Chain A
Amino acid sequence: MIPFAQYLRGLDGDDDLLTLAADELADVPPDVVAAEALRASGPVIRYNQVDGVDLASGSFSGPDRMQRRDAQPWSRLALGLGLEPDGSFVSVLETITGLGPAGQTDGPMYDTQAASRTVDSVQALGLPQGADDVWPALTLGMASIATADGTYWAPIHGSIVGDETLRVRTPAALAALLDGNETISIALGVPPAAIMTAYLLAVTDHVAVPIQACGVADDVPLVPTNGGLVPSATEVVIETTVADHQPDFQSDRREAWEYCLESTPLALSVERVIATDEPVVPFSPVGRPLADDLQLTGVTTAATLYHRVNNYWGISPVEWVLLPAEAELGFCVVATDVLYAGFEWQLANILFTFSSLFDTVIIVDEDVAPTDLGRVLGDIWVKAHPSRDWIFSDASAPAAQRPRYRQDGQTGSRLYVNAAWDPRWEDSYIAPRVTFETSFPPAVREAARTAWRTRHDGDAAGGDHDER
């Protein structure tokens, strides 16, 4: 388990964090700065504030894959999970899955609370007010409530509308668990493993599984609060009670997890705010490209789908599943061994069964690396036949949740693009790729690498292996 502040120090140590002083921000709202940093595939931004907590944006996001880059969108998340940032994507997916419902666990573990300093009011936190916001915004929060059966976590976001009043949105499934217990704790700046757990439980509609029965309990030390258990290393805890279950609360802002399950508004009264000595909390430029909440939703959904499809047929033909944030989670890419003719149809449609986020699935060959979105964005047009391999269902499917079209309940078609080789084709039909390995014999490759290396120290990898 890596606490959030330590996680940021690690990113700083990797030269992946830029600190801005309060006076540098001047008249530009933090959410605009955060969005531009993400758009540029830039570093995590830490905003040192004179009044209030420090803020961090981009901490759960990463660079896009519209160009070949050394880092991946999930590299920071890998670091936050205690994995190698340049480790495999599948190891990230499997680690995330392991945080969720696990049957038996050894946990929970307990520790002392890092947040020991009382803050005068929630306003004093100085949470960021976006360019279009009336009030300061709370994003990337983790709600915790407790019942006799345990503690439940879910994502939460909202606005600070007064010294003692919050208006928030959280999964309806969490609100339903309150059942007379009106206390909710909001944890800000939790360990990456904890926020990923909250998102995982939301996107899989497992909010009603107590965290004592989740893998995260074996990994993240906890501490009790008035609401429920929260990670002991949490930067800021806001203890609240529910003031209104059906507030008159109009807000267009939706964190990305809300495309996966129903959310509900709540009005909360703040009872107490506690923080660490030098608190730092993450925020997401919600609704902007590559925002942190979007990446978290995409990666946790991909982890779920990867786990489910590879446990469905008794074998594991799927190499990886991706919901690219670059496409706003509007389609799903899956790399697979096409076991037999028609398998691609089964695979696409089972993905539609397991997620309502998208209604387009792209199938690529098993040798395509998850880091090589560029190849996916070439193969769908080059390998897939424009009529035979763009397969539309009949028009009776419900619309997916993420796209903007057909939000009136009309049914329509789903689409899968088969950019994998047809298993019925003879090998002689299969066009070999033009790669460094396939285009040149070993002696020429070595000579070329040597020649290039003499001019570019350490920059002659050349082979396709660097895409994986």
Chain B
Amino acid sequence: MAADSFRDYLQLLADDALVSFDEPVSWDLEASAITMLANRTDGEVPLFESVGATDVDAALVGDPYRGPRSRPWDHLAQAFGLSAGLSGAAYYDAIIDRLRSPCEPRLLEPERAPCKDVVHTGSDVDLLSFPWPYVHRSDGGRYSNLHTIVAPDPETEWGRWSSHRMMIHDDALASLLFLAGEQVPNRYYYEYEPRGEPMPVAAVVGAEPAVQCSTEMWIPTGRSEAAFAGGLKASPVDLVPCETNGLSVPATAELVIEGHVLPNERLDEGPFGDYFGYMNGPRRSMPVFAVDAITHRAEPRVPFCVEGTGVGYGQNSSSTLQTAAAGPDATLGLQAAGFDVDAAVPWRFTSRTVWVIATERSYPGVLHELANFVFTTWGMLHIDFFVFVDATVDAHDPRAVLTAIALNADPDTDFHQFGVERMPKVPLNIYQTPDEKGSADVGTSKAKTAKAYIDATSDRPPEDDAETESLRARAQHLLVDAGVSPEPFDLLEQRERRDGDRR
């Protein structure tokens, strides 16, 4: 049974993966600090039920999508009605199967939409009545950073869904981090703004897991995230029309902020401790989101991400969503493009900068073609490196990938610069100087960067390891029977499947 709302999802975590704080906790750094402790210790997801100093009786939820350290996808698997305990490969297979069958959304009457329990429009709108967290003390302000931005798209009925952090300025204004090169910002910078026309948008906070996951995906033009979200949960996502514009938004969302991105207006944005794990600046001017309406459920639950904690050993919502949502989607995308790819998996330690692709080298030059495809069709602003490993290497196992890099990637021939400093880069990076980042009007750095791919495939023929795998599975069962935790083992389910077949 899939979770059809963010509340359903929290209920699913409630047994052993959620910890409630009934005592007052402040949105002013305190909720974020506790969440950082939870992230660092692989602890439960914290739910702050009593957030002081806000007009609306809202709760904060810190990094709700962070999964267990050993299997980051585990909570989301359960949210989609899949088993817990799946290996990375089995989870990707199951999600890819779902994505192969998109399911168009269903439009609800507004009266039936929980997100319209409370409706504020015009002068009733007050962004500051919600407990937007102040996440790090060096941030430029309070942020919403775990939401779905819904924007118009002439090619799809349901609009385009994407993710852009939002800094709150006052009761009706916010600034959105719009980086040219991404679809929604491109539409604003190169279509709406030149026409002097405001672009309608809605920020959907606390959407159901399938919506949040599809927001992180690179969906082909002409297709809608809404249909892939339906595919993910194997049933339609309920949408409802906005109050003040023609967009439709997920009906079970906790909170919806409707408004327009104004042309030729800018407000300060940043700095913010984002996904690199470092504070990044400088403070820049970014497009202005003027709020027209706010609708929400009674006692809304507002999720947020403590960005910067999802690097190195850390996991948070954004790193988990990369692994659990963007990865399977990218794998399917590469397969659909005709590449013989086994898996495309974000690198566990910095999931938006490096990706690992397990692939067959089916013809000379295929890795160059693959790199050319991925660097130009998705992720070009954020991702700097691709690492190619053999299809026999488990791309979900960072130790196996590290070994492949160390033993197979020859510095002489296997490191390929893909155009030295000719490519665009987000200004969030920390390896360019402030001068190089500059203040380009459309949000990219002034200076260009380089992208590279590493060929860590082996020159040796693959070994036939079927018998070895069977022995390994028996050894794993022996150790588990003797008292070793089953958590780290990868072949237990193989044995269970075989036993099931026999029965």
CB contact under 8 A between A382 and B353, given known A433-B277, A462-B36:
yes
Q: Is the CB of B430 within 8 A of A327?
A: no
Bound: A27/B413 CA distance, A: 44
CB interface residues, A 149-198, toward B, < 8 Å? none
Closest to A63 in B: B488
CB-CB under 8 A from B336, the residues of chain A are none
CB interface residues, B 68-85, toward A, < 8 Å? 69-70
Q: Is the CB of A431 within 8 A of B411?
A: no
CB contact under 8 A between A405 and B451, given known A29-B471, A33-B479, A41-B488:
no
Interface centre among B19, B431, B479 (most CB of A within 10 A): B431
Q: Is the CB of A18 within 8 A of B484?
A: yes
Q: Is the CB of B25 within 8 A of A451?
A: yes
Bound: A436/B277 CA distance, A: 11
Q: Does B273 contact A (CB under 8 A)?
A: yes
CB-CB under 8 A from A460, the residues of chain B are 37, 41
Q: Is the CB of B384 within 8 A of A381?
A: yes
Q: Is the CB of A67 within 8 A of B403?
A: no
Contact code string B483-495 (vs A, CB < 8 Å = 1, else 0): 1110011000000
Q: Is the CB of A387 within 8 A of B311?
A: no
Q: Is the CB of A327 within 8 A of B472?
A: no
Bound: A319/B468 CA distance, A: 41
Q: Is the CB of A381 within 8 A of B479?
A: no
Contact code string B461-503 (vs A, CB < 8 Å = 1, else 0): 0000000100110111011011111001100000000000000
CB-CB under 8 A from A24, the residues of chain B are 478, 481-482
Q: Is the CB of B410 within 8 A of A406?
A: yes
Q: Is the CB of B349 within 8 A of A386?
A: no
| Nearest chain B CB to A385 CB, angstrom units | 4
Q: Is the CB of A451 within 8 A of B34?
A: yes
Q: Is the CB of A456 within 8 A of B475?
A: no
Q: Does B111 contact A (CB under 8 A)?
A: no
CB contact under 8 A between A66 and B399, given known A390-B452, A405-B410, A434-B273:
yes
CB-CB under 8 A from B263, the residues of chain A are none
Q: Is the CB of A131 within 8 A of B411?
A: no
Q: Is the CB of B412 within 8 A of A406?
A: yes
Closest 10 CB pairs of A and B: A330-B406, A434-B308, A412-B412, A374-B313, A448-B33, A387-B450, A374-B312, A415-B411, A327-B406, A431-B278
CB contact under 8 A between A68 and B479, given known A405-B410, A432-B138:
no
CB-CB under 8 A from B402, the residues of chain A are 66, 324, 326-327, 377
Q: Is the CB of B40 within 8 A of A64?
A: no
CB interface residues, A 312-337, toward B, < 8 Å? 324, 326-331
CB contact under 8 A between A462 and B478, given known A404-B460, A425-B433, A444-B29:
no
Q: A377-B398, A377-B402, A406-B412 are in contact. List 13 more A-B contacts (CB 8 A).
A: A36-B475, A67-B313, A378-B311, A382-B431, A393-B411, A395-B412, A439-B32, A439-B136, A440-B29, A445-B33, A448-B30, A448-B36, A451-B21
Closest to A41 in B: B488
Closest to B43 in A: A456
Q: Is the CB of A68 within 8 A of B311?
A: no
Checking A64, A381, A403 against B350 with a beta-carbon cut-off of 8 angstroms, the contacting residue is A381
CB-CB under 8 A from A253, the residues of chain B are none
Interface centre among A395, A402, A439 (most CB of B within 10 A): A439
Q: Does B309 contact A (CB under 8 A)?
A: yes
CB-CB under 8 A from A406, the residues of chain B are 410, 412
Q: List 17 A-B contacts (CB under 8 A).
A: A326-B399, A326-B403, A378-B349, A383-B430, A386-B384, A386-B385, A393-B411, A413-B412, A431-B276, A431-B279, A434-B307, A438-B136, A438-B138, A441-B29, A441-B137, A452-B41, A460-B41
Q: Does B55 contact A (CB under 8 A)?
A: no
Closest to A34 in B: B475
Bound: A385/B36 CA distance, A: 28
Contact code string A30-62 (vs B, CB < 8 Å = 1, else 0): 001101110111110100000000000000000
CB-CB under 8 A from A136, the residues of chain B are none
Instruction: Tell me the dominant secondary structure on chain A's binding face.
Output: loop
Q: Is the CB of A429 within 8 A of B433?
A: yes
CB-CB under 8 A from A32, the residues of chain B are 471-472, 474-475
Contact code string A442-461 (vs B, CB < 8 Å = 1, else 0): 00110111011001100111
Q: Does B420 contact A (CB under 8 A)?
A: yes
Q: Does A347 contact B (CB under 8 A)?
A: no
Q: Does B335 contact A (CB under 8 A)?
A: no
| Nearest chain A CB to B31 CB, angstrom units | 9
Checking B420, B429, B479 against A36 with a beta-carbon cut-off of 8 angstroms, the contacting residue is B479
Binding site for B on A (CB under 8 A): 18, 20, 24-29, 32-33, 35-37, 39-43, 45, 64, 66-68, 131, 289, 324, 326-331, 358-360, 372, 374-375, 377-378, 381-390, 392-393, 395, 402-406, 412-415, 425, 428-429, 431-434, 436, 438-441, 444-445, 447-449, 451-452, 455-456, 459-462
CB contact under 8 A between A432 and B408, given known A20-B482, A386-B449, A389-B431:
no
Q: Is the CB of A289 within 8 A of B399?
A: yes
Q: Is the CB of A403 within 8 A of B70?
A: no
Bound: A213/B403 CA distance, A: 37
Sort chain B's interface into a size bin. 35 or more
| Nearest chain B CB to A200 CB, angstrom units | 23
Q: Does B280 contact A (CB under 8 A)?
A: yes
CB contact under 8 A between A436 and B33, given known A20-B478, A33-B475, A381-B384:
yes
Q: Is the CB of A434 within 8 A of B475?
A: no
CB-CB under 8 A from A441, the residues of chain B are 29, 137
Interface centre among B417, B449, B476 (most CB of A within 10 A): B476
Q: Is the CB of A37 within 8 A of B484?
A: yes
**Tally of A-B Cβ pairs under 8 angstroms:** 262
Closest to B406 in A: A330
CB interface residues, B 363-422, toward A, < 8 Å? 384-385, 398-400, 402-403, 405-415, 417, 420-421
CB-CB under 8 A from A39, the residues of chain B are 488
Bound: A439/B136 CA distance, A: 5
Bound: A460/B38 CA distance, A: 9
CB-CB under 8 A from A448, the residues of chain B are 30, 33-34, 36-37
Interface centre among A330, A331, A393, A461 (most CB of B within 10 A): A330
Q: Does B92 contact A (CB under 8 A)?
A: no
CB-CB under 8 A from A324, the residues of chain B are 402
Q: Does B60 contact A (CB under 8 A)?
A: no
CB contact under 8 A between A436 and B138, given known A381-B384, A382-B311, A429-B433:
no
Closest to B430 in A: A431
Bound: A402/B431 CA distance, A: 31
CB-CB under 8 A from A390, the residues of chain B are 415, 452
Q: Does B23 contact A (CB under 8 A)?
A: yes
Interface centre among A18, A386, A433 (most CB of B within 10 A): A386
CB contact under 8 A between A386 and B451, given known A68-B313, A439-B138:
yes
Q: Is the CB of A28 within 8 A of B411?
A: no
CB-CB under 8 A from B414, the residues of chain A are 405
Q: Is the CB of A67 within 8 A of B479?
A: no
Q: Is the CB of A378 within 8 A of B450?
A: no
CB-CB under 8 A from B43, the residues of chain A are 452, 456, 459
Q: Does B458 contact A (CB under 8 A)?
A: yes
Bound: A406/B412 CA distance, A: 9
CB contact under 8 A between A25 and B478, given known A377-B398, A404-B408, A452-B37:
yes
Q: Is the CB of A403 within 8 A of B406?
A: yes
Q: Does B246 contact A (CB under 8 A)?
A: no
CB-CB under 8 A from B40, the residues of chain A are 68, 436, 462
Closest to B21 in A: A451
CB interface residues, B 1-60, toward A, < 8 Å? 19, 21, 23, 25, 29-30, 32-34, 36-38, 40-41, 43
| Nearest chain B CB to A320 CB, angstrom units | 17
CB contact under 8 A between A385 and B411, given known A28-B478, A440-B137:
no
Q: Does B222 contact A (CB under 8 A)?
A: no
Bound: A36/B402 CA distance, A: 18
Q: Is the CB of B413 within 8 A of A40?
A: no
| Nearest chain A CB to B428 CB, angstrom units | 10
Bound: A386/B279 CA distance, A: 20
